[in-house]
Amino acid sequence: MKIADKLKTAAVVVAGAGEAADELRQEAKVRRNLVVIGNHEPQVLASVTKSSVAGVDLSSYEPMGVRALEYMYAGVPFAASPNSRADWYVANGVDGMHLNRSEAVDEFLTWVETLIKSPEVRDEMGRKAKRKAAGLTADKLAAAIIEKISS
């Protein structure tokens, strides 16, 4: 909701049916730029992901970074919270960005505005993200996680 409050140039789409879904649905009724998608078919979620300017994980803990890989595989740059394992996959400034803290809404919005104003930068980051994610198949991802845990 903080992103939707501050972002005036685009809509914020929230997907999923977590514990905050009811509150988000109520907020979406009064915010023109907030869209909440519950549990929909994978094709719908994939379409939303592919059409995004950027993905973000503002959670205080995300143990596997899978959300980032979904966006990256779709060719969408991703902003990773420092408490998310997405920072294992996202190269800061190359195929996404590392946020300084979990609730770094202003930092994320500044980056999104840059991506909107410079679509060539967004497209290049997206290409690099897709290339990287394509190399992280389930077996390679498991090996990478084991290597990170072991080191």
pLDDT digits (tens, 9 = 90+) for 132-151: 999 887 777 778 778 888 88
125 and 77 in contact (C-beta within 8 Å)? Answer: yes
Q: What is the pLDDT of residues 20-35, one digit of tens each?
A: 778 888 888 888 888 8
**Range 98-103 average pLDDT:** 92
pLDDT at 120 over 90: yes
Q: How confident is the model at residue 66 (pLDDT cuts 50, 70, 90)?
A: confident
Task: Give the span between the Cα atoms of 12 and 34, in whole angstroms.
Answer: 5
Residue 117 pLDDT exceeds 80: yes
Give SS3 for 57.
Answer: strand
Average pLDDT score over residue span 62-79: 91
| Cα–Cα distance, 112 to 132 (Å, whole number) | 21
19, two tokens: 């514990």
pLDDT at 40 over 80: no
With cut-offs at 50, 70 and 90, classify the pLDDT of residue 44.
confident
List domains and CATH numbers for the chain.
Answer: 1-40 (no CATH), 52-143 (3.40.50.2000)
d(CA 64, CA 54): 19
Residue 3 has pLDDT above 90, yes or no: no
